[in-house]
Amino acid sequence: MNRRKLLEAIGGTTLASYFSGTALAQNVASPASASGWQNWSKSLPSSTAQIKAPQDLAALKKLIASAEGPVRPVGAGHSWMPLVPSDYAIVKLDHFAAVDDIDTKAQTAWIGAGARLHDVSPILAQSGLAFRNLGDIDVQTLAGATSTATHGTGRDLSCLSAEILGLRMVTGDGDEIEISASQNADMLAGARVGLGSLGVLTEMKMQLVARHKLHRRVWFMPHEALLAQANKLWETHRNFEFFYIPFSGMSMCIAHDETQAADTPRAEDESDDAVAQLKALRDYVSWFPALRKRLLGWAIGAAPEENVVGESWQLLSSARNTLFNEMEYHLPEDAGLAALEEVRHYIERQRCDVFFPFETRMTQADENWLSPFQGARRMSVAVHCYHADEYQFLFTHVEPILRKYGGRPHWGKLNSLTGRDFAALYPQWEAFADMRRRLDPRGRMLNPYLTNLFDGAA
C-alpha cells in the first residue's frame, strides 16, 4: 500500500494515499446565493430574507433607517451560530472592501469591513505591511472575523479584534458613527467584538506590522510526549498549535517562526483528499479501535517533516473545503490541556465515529468587553465533526466538560449558552448590552438569537 495523503487534512504535510476514499462534499456556492443565505457548513436552515448589497454609504444608511424588520450583516458565512438569519434583510458588504489611508510609518490602514482577509494581505504586502497574525482560514471578511473575535495561535499574539484602532459603522438608527481613540473612545473596547449587534460596520483602522516571512515546520510526535512539552513549545515558537488525531495516540505539531531565509516551494495542498482517507479509515475499521490505531501509527511513522519558508499570510492560513461542524471553547491557560484530555478520553471511549483531529491553540489576553480572551491568555480546544455526521454529543457530552473548566465559547461556533450564561462569563456584559441599546434603540440589528441573548430570558 502507498502511504501518501492519508493524513493530509491535518496540516498540509504530504503523507500517503492509504485508501481511495470518495471525495467529500465541498461548498463552492456563495453563502448569500440566489436561493437564499445559508452558512458554510449548511448546518443552519436556509434563510429566505432579502439579500442586499448597498453600493455606498448613503444606500446603506437609507436601507437601515427605512428597514421594517431586522437587518443583519453577513461576511463569508463561516459561522455555526445563528448570528446572521433575519426575516427581513441580510446585508452583504461587498462594496465596502477598499484598503485606504495606508500609513507605512505608523503601520496602519483603514480597511473596508467587507474585504476578504485573503484579498487584503497581498495589497498590504505591496506597501511592506502585513497582519500580525491570521487564523486557520483567511476567507472571512474583516468585519466577520473581528466581530466574533476570530483568532490564530501564538502565546503572545492577540486575536484580530485587538488590532482595531478605530471603526466606522451605521448604527441601528441609520446614523454614521466613528469609534476611535479620538471619537467615542469609551465605546472602543465594547465595539471591537460586537457580533454585528451595534450596527453595520463599514471600515476599520487596523494596527499592522512590517511584512515578514515565516518558517513553517510540521512534525508528528506521541501525544503523551507532546503534553509534557506543549507549554515549552508555545514559549519557544512565535506560532504553535497541535492537532490530536483521534484513535492514534499521536499529535501533529505546527510551528511558525520569523525568518530572513529565502522562500522555498511548498507542496500542493491536498487536504480534502486526506480528510476522505481519514473518513474511509473510520468507516472501514471503526469496529476495531486497536487496528485503527495501528494503521494510523504506521502511516504517521512514514510521514516526512515539512519545512517551508514563505510570506506570513501564505503560510498561516489553509484551505478548508471539506464541510464540518465545530465546537471551540477558550479555556484558562492552566486548564486547557486537562480539558482536552477529558474530551479525548470521552471520545475514544464512546465516539468511534469521530475522525477529524482536535485542534489546540493559544491566544494572548486583551481587554475587549466580549472578547473570549478578555482579561487573560486562553488555550482553545476545538472538536470537529464531518458535516453529515450526528453532532448532538458536542452539546450533551463535550460542552459540559469545556464549561466545567471555565471555558468561553467561540462566538461563531457551536454552543448552547444563554444570555445569563454569558453574563456570568463576561464582567462587562451589562455594559455592552446598555451600549447596544443606545446605538440601536429600536432593535433593528437583532434577530431572534441575539434578542434572546441581550433582551430576552436566559
CATH of the domain at 297: 3.40.462.10
Say yes or no: 199 and 323 in one domain: no
Residue finishing a domain among 140, 175, 210: 210
Say yes or no: 206 and 219 in one domain: no
Is residue 253 domain-resident? yes
Say yes or no: 112 and 203 in one domain: yes
Total domains in the fold of the chain: 3
Q: Which set of grid coordinates corresponds to residue 23? A: 471525495
Residues 6+ apart with CB under 8 A from 313: 118, 121, 122, 125, 130, 131, 134, 138
Task: Measure the CA–CA gap between 208 and 133, rounded to whole angstroms.
Answer: 9
Task: Please answer whether residues 98 and 118 qualify as being in contact, where contact means their C-beta atoms are separated by less than 8 angstroms.
Answer: no
H/E segment holding residue 233: helix 223-236
Length of the chain: 458
For the purposes of burial, counting CB atoms within 10 Å of the CB of 272, is it exposed (0-12), middle (13-18) or buried (19 or more)?
Answer: middle
pLDDT score, position 250 = 92
Residue finishing a domain among 210, 239, 267: 210
Say yes or no: 433 and 298 in one domain: no
Q: Which set of grid coordinates corresponds to residue 424? A: 456570568
Say yes or no: 127 and 231 in one domain: no
- Bridge partners (DSSP) listed for residue 362: 379
Is residue 25 domain-resident? no
Strand bridging mode 239-245 / 306-311: unpaired
pLDDT score, position 29 = 39
Residues 6+ apart with CB under 8 A from 127: 102, 104, 109
Q: Which set of grid coordinates corresponds to residue 392? A: 448532538
Is residue 57 domain-resident? no
List the CATH number of the domain containing 175. 3.30.465.10
What is the CA 113 to chain-centroid distance, rounded? 17
Strand bridging mode 108-112 / 358-363: unpaired
Closest CA to 177 of 449, 355, 435: 435
Radius of gyration over alpha carbons of the chain, in Å?
22
Low-confidence ranges of the chain (pLDDT < 70): 1-35, 268-274, 456-458
Tens digit of pLDDT for each residue in 219-274? 999 999 999 999 999 999 999 999 999 999 999 999 999 999 999 988 766 666 66
Query: Phi first, then psi: what are they for 205, rounded to 5°?
Result: -90, 120
Is residue 120 domain-resident? yes
pLDDT score, position 300 = 81
Is residue 66 domain-resident? no
Q: What is the dihedral of CA 319, 321, 326, 328, to 10 degrees?
A: 10
Tens digit of pLDDT for each residue in 114-171? 999 999 999 999 999 999 999 989 999 999 999 999 999 999 999 999 999 999 999 9
What is the CA 220 to chain-centroid distance, rounded? 24
Say yes or no: 400 and 253 in one domain: yes
Residues 6+ apart with CB under 8 A from 346: 397, 398, 401
pLDDT score, position 96 = 97
Is residue 91 domain-resident? no
Strand ranges in 149-277 using DSSP code E only, listed in sequence order: 164-171, 176-180, 199-207, 209-210, 213-222, 239-245, 250-259
Q: How far is CA 124 from CA 17, 102, 117, 179, 210, in A?
A: 38, 8, 10, 23, 9
H/E segment holding residue 36: strand 36-37
Is residue 227 domain-resident? yes
pLDDT score, position 269 = 64
State the sign of the Cα–Cα–Cα–Cα dihedral 443, 446, 448, 450.
negative
Say yes or no: 266 and 123 in one domain: no
297: helix, coil or strand?
Answer: helix
Q: How far is CA 410 from CA 39, 99, 135, 370, 397, in A?
A: 16, 27, 13, 11, 17
Q: How many CA atoms lie within 13 A of 226 on its CB side?
A: 22
pLDDT score, position 290 = 82
Residue finishing a domain among 210, 234, 260: 210
pLDDT score, position 302 = 73
Owning domain of residue 127? 99-210
Is residue 41 domain-resident? no
Say yes or no: 226 and 312 in one domain: yes
Say yes or no: 359 and 429 in one domain: no
Say yes or no: 188 and 139 in one domain: yes
pLDDT score, position 307 = 94
Task: Please answer whether residues 130 and 209 qualify as being in contact, where contact means their C-beta atoms are separated by less than 8 angstroms.
Answer: yes
Say yes or no: 295 and 367 in one domain: yes
Say yes or no: 251 and 333 in one domain: yes
